[in-house]
Amino acid sequence: MAATELDQVVNLCKRRGFVYPSAEIYGGFRSSYDYGPLGSLMLRNVREAWIRTMVQQRDDVVLIDAAILAPPQVFEASGHLANFSDPLVDCTKCKQRFREDHLVDLGGGPDTCPGCGAKGSFTEARAFNLMFKTFAGPVEGSGAEVYMRPETAQGMFVNFLNVLQTSRKKPPFGIAQVGKSFRNEITPGNFIFRTREFEQMELEFFVPPAESAEWYDYWCKARLQWYVDLGIPADMLVLRPHDADELSHYSSGTSDIEFKYPWGWGELEGVAQRTNYDLTQHANHSGTKLDYFDQATNERYIPYVIEPAAGVNRAMAAFLLAAYDEDIINDEPRTVLRLHPRLAPYKVAVLPLSKKDTLTPLAHQIRRTLSERYMVDYDETQAIGKRYRRQDEVGTPLCVTVDFDSLEDNAVTIRDRDTTAQVRVPIADLLGEISARLGF
Ligand code: GAP
């Protein structure tokens, strides 16, 4: 995909209500985005697809929903207060500030300012903590400080004992969570790829230490396959092990699942071996034992953790970029999002051929029936060809056309987004036919 196609996807997202720049009527709020009627449905579909695979279809993972705000103790113990920082340099000529490790990517050299081109103008690098700090209660001051979580993961570690006791799981087992995280990124950008407010889908999978390597392999493969199963071509994905100098402070080994973005290969998800680092740290700092007693072997141990950590927004960007296509149907160019049906905002669009009230009551009745099971769009304006194209452009897999014959033969036409093929189906069989075509 050419880099210009990023602009096309961004434009489509704005034009069709997937993603808007935040606070646009006030000139915009840099690198923040709001998700519109279609984007919010798609985000929900990404979350639900993840929960379905990671929780619903397994018997060894449970879901939690922990608080976003946390007291400093949590991040003292986790190491984020001391270590979760980026190295920053200031240009003494143009006064701009950059991430030292991004200088080359930003178009400068390690010694040349990407802002003004000056050479040798940088200050020494300083560590800049990425966490957002705020204050709880009416007094701003020490003692009232709280942090917005920079990852959902700590919610799983501090609740390890609660979940162990209430869910009656034993290692190997996992705790999953989907929710917002916040990082004061120095160089946000590339649309919704890197923002300061974003949503994560994380699993902390607790295993006996001796099984850690095996589970790490398992999760690397399983997570890569998840994206393929949801329609990303395998040649747009790669698993890349981190070099030692890239590892987070808690990791003994991480692989990134990378996606081929229009601007090059980049991280989509990380799978990390967090060892027993976090549970040990929280046990030491809180004074609460966070371990597991295995009655079969009579052994007590602190589980090791394998962590597949994905981004909801970043996954949505990858799914959109991979799905974006342009082709020619009946000599007319069209834009089509070839989204997996699970991810498509609408699964079906109901389109009466005319907006005459002889036809619309039947069309509405069909819409009501289908919407018991699926997210359905309804559109009765403009020529039918135009309406098909509007649905293609937002990835709706199936259109159901209600015409005047439908009033006589009790049948409607199903039209397929990808092939544009049409078949006539009795209304009585419609739900079953749609379910068979969508696969759910
Ligand atoms: N708990 C481990 C962790 O947070 P990470 O690699 O920093 O690891 C995991 O983040 C995933 O969260 C990333 O692969 C990405 O999909 C998403 N993510 C991280 N920072 C992001 C940001 N600033 N904007 C959008 N998504 C982000």
Which residue, by CA, sits nearest to atom 19 of ligand 1?
311
Torsion sign, CA atoms 325, 329, 334, 339: negative
Q: What is the 3-state secondary structure (H, E, C) of 364-422?
A: HHHHHHHHCCCCEEECCCCCHHHHHHHHHHCCCCEEEEECHHHHHHCEEEEEECCCCCE
57-66, 194-203, 242-251, 336-345: lowest mean pLDDT where? 242-251
Residue nearest to atom 18 of ligand 1 (CA): 311
pLDDT band with cut points at 50, 70 and 90 for residue 1: very low
The pLDDT value recorded for residue 330 is 86
The angle at the Cα of 120, spanning 114 to 122, to the nearest 5 degrees, equals 70
CA of 388 to the centre of ligand 1 (A): 36
Residue 56 is given by DSSP the state: I
Instruction: Output the pLDDT for position 249.
Output: 87
pLDDT single digits (tens) 239-297: 999 998 888 888 889 999 999 999 999 999 999 999 999 999 999 999 999 999 999 99
Q: Average of pLDDT values for 387-399?
A: 98
Mutate to test the pocket of ligand 1, among 178, 198, 199, 226 (most ligand atoms within 8 A of CB): 198
Within 10 A of 326 (CB to CB), how many other CB atoms are there? 10
User: Is-above-0.85 flag for pTM?
Assistant: yes
Residue in 68, 314, 316 to alter for ligand 1 test, most ligand atoms within 8 A of Cβ = 314
Query: Looking at residues 53-72, what average pLDDT do you find?
Result: 98
User: What mean pLDDT do residues 381-395 have?
Assistant: 97
Instruction: Read off the pLDDT band of 3 (50, 70, 90).
Output: low
User: Looking at ligand 1, which atom is closest to the CA of residue 152?
Assistant: 1
Write down the pLDDT at residue 186.
87
pLDDT band at 394 (very low <50, low <70, confident <90, very high): very high
Q: Would the pLDDT of 177 be above 60?
A: yes
The pLDDT assigned to 111 comes to 87
Angle made by CA atoms 86, 90, 95, in degrees to the nearest 5:
140
Q: Which DSSP string corresponds to 313-349?
A: HHHHHHHHHHHEEEEEETTEEEEEE---TTT-S-SEE
- Pick the atom of ligand 1 nearest to 194's CA: 24
User: Domains in the chain and their CATH numbers?
Assistant: 6-70+148-320 (3.30.930.10), 346-438 (3.40.50.800)
**For the chain, what percent of residues have pLDDT higher than 70?**
99
Cβ of 313 closer than 6 Å to ligand 1, yes or no, is: yes
User: Omega before 172 cis (within 30°)?
Assistant: yes
pLDDT tens digits along 100-124: 988 888 887 888 999 999 999 999 9
Determine the pLDDT at residue 110.
82
H-state helical runs in 204-328: 212-229, 277-286, 312-323
Atom of ligand 1 nearest to the CA of 193: 25
Model pLDDT for residues 84-96, shown as the tens digit of each residue:
999 999 999 999 9
Answer for the pair 384, 353: CB distance below 8 angstroms, yes or no.
yes
- State the average pLDDT over residues 190-206: 97
Residue whose CA lies nearest to ligand 1 atom number 24: 194
In the reported structure, the alpha carbon of residue 144 is separated from the centroid of ligand 1 by a whole-number distance in angstroms of 27
pLDDT band at 5 (very low <50, low <70, confident <90, very high): confident
Instruction: List, in sequence order, every residue forming a beta bridge with 90; answer none if it has no partner.
Output: 97
- Work out which ligand 1 atom sits closest to the CA atom of 196: 23
For 68, phi and psi rounded to 5 degrees?
-80, -40
Q: Which two tokens stand for residue 96?
A: 């701009």
**What secondary structure does DSSP assign to 6-36, as a single string?**
HHHHHHHHHHTTSEEETTGGGT--TT-EEE-
The string of DSSP letters for 217-262 reads HHHHHHHHHHHHHTT--GGGEEEEEPPGGG--TT-SEEEEEEEEET
Residue 217: is its pLDDT beyond 70? yes
> 406 CA distance to ligand 1 centroid (A)?
50
Q: Decide if pLDDT at 225 tops 70.
A: yes
Q: How far is CA 233 from CA 228, 320, 338, in A?
A: 6, 12, 12
Percent helix, strand and coil across the chain, each rounded to 5? Answer: 35, 30, 35
- CA dist 277 to 150, 213, 252, 307, Å? 17, 16, 9, 12
Helix (H, G, I), strand (E, B) or coil at 196: coil
Q: What is the pLDDT of residue 139?
A: 86
Q: What pLDDT does residue 246 have?
A: 87
CB 161 within 8 A of CB 206: no
Among residues of the chain, what percentage have pLDDT more than 90? 90
Helix axes 4-15, 312-323, angle to 10 degrees: 110
Q: Is the CB of 203 under 6 A from ligand 1?
A: no
- pLDDT tens string 407-421: 999 999 999 999 999
Query: Under 8 Å CB-to-CB from 217, ≥6 apart: which residues?
Result: none
Q: 414 pairs with which residues across the strands?
A: 400, 423
Task: Examine the pLDDT at 38 and tell me if it is beyond 90.
Answer: yes
Q: In whole angstroms, what is the distance from residue 384 CA to residue 352 CA?
A: 9
Q: Give the ligand 1 atom nearest the CA of 256.
A: 14
The helix (run of H) or strand (run of E) holding residue 99 is strand 97-99
Task: Give me Rg for the CA atoms of the chain.
Answer: 25
> What are the structure tokens assigned to 285, written together?
């700092």
What is the position in ligand 1's atom list of the atom closest to the CA of 183?
Answer: 23
From ligand 1's centre to the CA of 371, what distance in Å? 34
Q: Express each pLDDT in 343-363 by its tens digit.
A: 999 999 999 999 999 999 999
Q: Which residue has the tokens 């639900």?
A: 48
Model confidence band, residue 4 (pLDDT cutoffs 50, 70, 90): low
